[in-house]
Every structure is written in structure tokens, then in C-alpha cells.
Chain A
Amino acid sequence: MARALPAIWLLIGGLSGSGAAPARADFETALAAYDAGDYGAAYEEWLPLAKSGDGDAQAAIADLYFSGLVGNTATANGVRRNQATAAWWYRRAARCGHVIAQLNLGDFYARGIGVERDPVQASLWLGLAGKSGNDWANARNAAISTGMTADEKSRAADMIARWRPDPDCTD
């Protein structure tokens, strides 16, 4: 059974992150399942962690949706490719300061993957990841900034200066 966009969850439970936080051991179980190519099982293990605010799990879920790995397992389980949902999960982690989520979200905005192409948003998220010392983000930000207007660059710089992690973040 492939996973489609979890619309109901997004509307009902996805924004609250309610319930007890799952143990970090679940992350390791998910990782082992992912390594074994059982993407469906990895999704099931990572999802509760992601809902509870674990940035690594959120980025992992985003990558599963971006990659769209279905039917590559013994149980034919997997996650159907959905770029908008991938962007949604990256945004959730990025707003809490997760660097890998920030740079991937910035790249999504630069290329129009799962979101409307937006160089200012791209520069914002890549710039934030770059401020944390990520060389790839800095190089990507430099590359896209060559196509931006002075006003767009100024707006992005201002947003970076004013940016703070979402107060709802648990980390």
C-alpha cells in the first residue's frame, strides 16, 4: 500500500504534534528499515517522531516523499512521490532551524519543486543554512543570487536578519 498525501492528517492532527514523544530508539528502527529498503516500515517508524517535532525524522519523511520509493520492498510498501508534501515537511523542520531541511527547502524554492518558484524564499532558506556553516548552501545561494534583483536580495537579507525559530518548536 503506497502512501499518498496524508490530507486528513494534515488537517486534523498534523499541526498539533499531540501525544507522547516516541522514543529515539524508533529512529534507529526506522533507519534500519530504510537501509533494508523497506521504505514503508521506515515511514511508519519516522512518522510519529516527525509529528512530535523531531527534525531529523521530518527531513527523512520529506526525502521519502521526494524520492517516491514504492514497491521496492518485500511488502510492496513505500511512499508515493509527492513533492508538495516533501516541501511541507522540509518547511516544518526548517522553521525550527534544521539546517538540512533549510537548504533543501531553499533548493525547492529555487527550482520550483513542490512550491512556487521564489528566489527570495530560496535565498532566505539557503542563507540561513549557510549561516550555520553549510558550504553547499552558501554555494547554491551565491549561484541563485546572480539572477536576483537588488530589491530581491535586500528583502532576503532582511528576512534572514529578522528570522527566529518558530516558537512552537520542541527542540
Chain B
Amino acid sequence: MRNPCNPCAAKNPCNPCAATNPCNPCAAANPCNPCAAKNPCNPCAATNPCNPCAAANPCNPCAANPCNPCAAGTTVELTEAEAAKAYDCVSGPMKAAYTKSGNAVAAAYQGWRRYSRVAYQSATHGGRYVQNFANGKARAYGAFEKSGAMPVGSVLAKDSFAVNTRGRVSPGPLFIMEKMPAGFNNASYNWKYTMIMPNGSVFGVTNGRNSAGMRFCYECHASVAEDQDSMMFLPDEYRIR
């Protein structure tokens, strides 16, 4: 009577005998066993839009895809006017939050040239709204795909804010890329990635504190390492030229 596949158990959510059940938990090799409580990829969950069983699903959260676009799928969407207004409200708190870290870029970046005309939603940064800044050394950034390799000392900063389902806007992380001399880190193509949390915590610095935690950054950016010196550019409609 301990048969986990008992089709008569009325409360068994994993009834493999149900003709429409695509998730037979009795199949030992079934990677989509919905009975596994800790399975984050349960395809039977009605609200899960990232069914890992669908081979062609580009949003499969189980795949080792560092650029998983699923996270952005259900974020709150703002109009440009709303995004601009939200940024006006949150830019001060963002700077105040980031400067808690003591990081020099956090204190300086809002004085740098901005290359986005309005905050836009970035699928590769968790669906948050972001703006792009670059320091003087990185002025070639304004040529976007034609900017070539950045000189050592170039610093790119991307601040971010999130909007929850109740419309509340709150600062997100500050993402920083700094071009370092050759030999700094071959895997990151000599970019130093830093992530500063909205409470001032520095949660990772390439070749520094929690360097391993920054691996997902350069693994994602590596897709454009050869052609664009690891820089992913914002959508054309948001660019300031």
C-alpha cells in the first residue's frame, strides 16, 4: 500500500495513471518528476512558465544558461514616461545606497556621461530597469558596436531599480565593469566585474572578494567578448549618440 504510483489515492498529485499526466513519477529516468519536492523545475506547476521538459524552450531554468531570460518575463512593465519618473525618484536613493559600500565608482558614476536616454528594462539583469554610464576613458563606448577594444582604465557602470507588483520602486544592484591590464584575468577578458547591493554590500569583485560569485557575469558577457570586448549594448531605441 506504499505504492507511490497508486492511482486510487485520491490525493496523490502525481497519479501516473491519469492519461493526461505528462509527468509520470514512476519513470525512473524522468527528469521532470513532479513528486520531487525540491525539484525547482517542476513542469507540472501551473505557474511555471519555464517547463524544462520542452526541449525548445529557451527559458529552461535547468540549463546552465547564465543569461536566462525567464526572469524578465513577468516583471512589471513601465512606459518610458513612467520609467523616467521612477528614475528621477530613485536615482538619489540609489547613489546614497551604493556609496555605503565605500566604492569610488559608486560615488562618482552619476557624474559621468550617460549613454541611455531613459531607464530601460534589461533582460540580462533580472528584468530590472537600468541606465548606462561610462567614465572619460571609456568615451569610445558611445560608438557602441563600433567602439572597439576599451583602453585600460575604462569603467562602465549600470545602476538599476526594480518595480514590484504593487508599483513600489526600489534600488537594485550597481553593476561595474573596469578594464584592467592584460593578464588580470583571461577568463573575464581582463574586465573586473563588481556588484554592489542596494544596502552597500559588495558581493563580488573579479580577482577580489567572492571572485567566484562574479563568474556568471563574465560567462554571460563572454558571448560578445571577441566582437565587442565583452560589452553588451543597450537596445538602439534607448541610445544617446
Contacts and interface: CB of A to CB of B under 8 A. Distances in A.
A36, A59, A70, A137: which has the most chain B beta carbons within 10 Å? A36
B164 A68 contact: yes
A145 to B, nearest CB: 18
Interface residues of A, number: 37
A163 interface: no
A59, A72, A100, A137: which has the most chain B beta carbons within 10 Å? A72
Interface in B201-237: 201, 203-204, 210, 212-213, 215-217
B74 interface: yes
B162 A67 contact: yes
Given A37-B72, A37-B126, A69-B170, A32 B200 contact: no
Contacts, number: 119
B21 interface: no
Interface residues of B, number: 48
Interface stretch (B22-30, B144-152, B191-199): B191-199
A70 B197 contact: no
Contacts of B91: none
B74 A73 contact: yes
Contact of A136 (B99, B166, B197): B99
Nearest to A70: B164
B70 A63 contact: no
Given A67-B170, A67-B198, A100-B100, A74 B213 contact: no
Contacts of A137: 100
B92 interface: no
B40 A35 contact: no
B199 A74 contact: no
B170 A74 contact: no
A38 B71 contact: yes
Interface stretch (B2-10, B44-52, B176-184): B44-52
Given A31-B204, A63-B198, A67-B198, A37 B164 contact: no
Contact of A76 (B74, B166, B195): B74
Given A37-B72, A104-B199, 8 more contacts: A28-B216, A37-B127, A59-B201, A68-B164, A71-B165, A75-B48, A104-B100, A135-B102
Interface of B: 40, 45, 47-50, 59, 61, 66, 68, 70-76, 99-102, 125-128, 162-166, 168, 170-171, 173, 195, 197-201, 203-204, 210, 212-213, 215-217
Interface of A: 25, 27-28, 31-32, 34-38, 41, 56, 59-60, 62-63, 66-76, 78, 81, 100, 103-104, 133-137
18 contacts: A28-B212, A31-B216, A32-B213, A37-B71, A37-B128, A56-B201, A59-B197, A59-B199, A63-B197, A67-B170, A72-B163, A73-B71, A74-B61, A78-B164, A100-B100, A100-B199, A104-B100, A134-B100
| Closest 8 A/B residue pairs (Cβ) | A37-B126, A71-B165, A37-B71, A36-B71, A63-B199, A74-B70, A28-B213, A67-B170
